[in-house]
Amino acid sequence: MKDVSVSVIIPAYNEEKSIGRCLQSLANQTEKPDEIIVVDNNCTDRTAQIAREYGAKVIKEKDQGMISARNAGFENAKCEILARTDADSILPSDWILKIKNDLKDASTGAVSGPAYYFASPKPFRIFGLANKTFFRINKLLMKHDVLFGPNMAIKKDIWVKVINDVCLLDKDVHEDLDLGLHLSKYTKVKFDYKLLIKTSFRRWLKLNTYFKYTKIYLKMLRSHKAYCSN
């Protein structure tokens, strides 16, 4: 079987403190990505400059938001597999290799995995287990595996099928779960619990995050009932 090419897409908004660490983890891969795209989503700091210093391709996306930034990165990517992570994540050295192995199965169009939250306060270190439990619960609710934004990959030919179906407003959906739901109509989505990355806990330090996440999650489930029955 011929080796497949991989583009890594990293949406970014003012990530100068984190993106170097993420890009270094990509440089340390045992199997190098063929392309790294950093989506500059109106950064006002040194994010784009640092990305270029690491050899990444930087593209601009003026429409603010994760979905717009993700879509811009996917649409500009040239490779057969589109891997996505966040600028404040750290990828293990075999991340690309595991993604390729998971997607060798012709029936599998996308793969994802969990995260360990580094630098989290001691009372919150249970979040590593909670992260895995969350995706097991989602599989029960939605009848299939889902995607986790900082740690996912999709075959480009499958992305082309759903590009006009995915929701476009961040206030209405969690973009990773929404993408996985739409993909389920076309392909198998695999959640590989051994595809583990490290990511920042910073978003969960604010109490408002929990209320906002839950509100959008419930809203999305109500509007996507037809996708939760496969």
> pLDDT tens digit string along 129-177?
667 788 888 888 888 899 999 999 999 999 999 999 999 999 999 999 9
Q: What's the burial of 62, exposed, middle or buried (CB within 10 Å: 0-12/13-18/19+)? A: exposed
Residue 40 predicted with pLDDT over 80: yes
Of 33-37, 110-114, 131-135, 195-199, give the lowest mean pLDDT range: 131-135
pLDDT of residue 1: 42
Average pLDDT over residues 202-230: 83
pLDDT at position 6 is 98
Q: What is the rounded average pLDDT for all residues in the chain?
A: 92
CA pair distance 20, 100, nearest whole angstrom: 24
Amino acid 124: pLDDT: 59
Please say if the pLDDT value at position 226 is more than 90: no
Q: Where are the domains of the chain?
A: 6-227
Taking the CA atoms of residue 146, residue 150, residue 155 and residue 158 in that order, the dihedral angle to the nearest 10 degrees is: 50
Residues written for the chain: 230
Q: What was the pLDDT predicted at 197?
A: 95
Q: Which amino acid is at 224?
A: H
- Quickly state the pLDDT bin for 222 (edges 50, 70, 90): confident
- In the predicted model, what is the mean pLDDT of residues 62-82? 97
pLDDT by residue (tens digit) across 1-17? 468 999 999 999 999 99
Which of 69-83, 111-125, 133-147 has the highest average model confidence (pLDDT)?
Answer: 69-83
pLDDT at 229: 59
> In CATH, which of 3.40.50.1820, 1.10.510.10, 3.90.550.10, 1.20.1740.10 is domain 6-227?
3.90.550.10
